[in-house]
Amino acid sequence: MGTIIVGAGLVLVVAAIVRRMIKDKKAGKSIQCGGDCGHCGGHCNH
């Protein structure tokens, strides 16, 4: 039973992280650039 609870919690955490990454990507933010394409040479995708 404990394994199921821990596994479900882990799935929720991973889903939240992925959701946040997708939301940031749509908002024009990038892990590589930090939202400032001048900083990374302008190769960010918006």
Q: What is the pLDDT, as a whole number, of residue 43?
A: 56
Global pTM value? 0.58
CA distance 33 to 44: 7
Q: What is the pLDDT, as a whole number, of residue 25?
A: 78
Residues in CB range of 44: below 8 A, 6 or more apart: 30, 32, 33, 37
CA distance 18 to 4: 21
Mean pLDDT over all residues of the chain?
Answer: 78
Residue-wise pLDDT for 3-12, tens only, equals 999 999 999 9
Q: What is the pLDDT, as a whole number, of residue 40?
A: 59
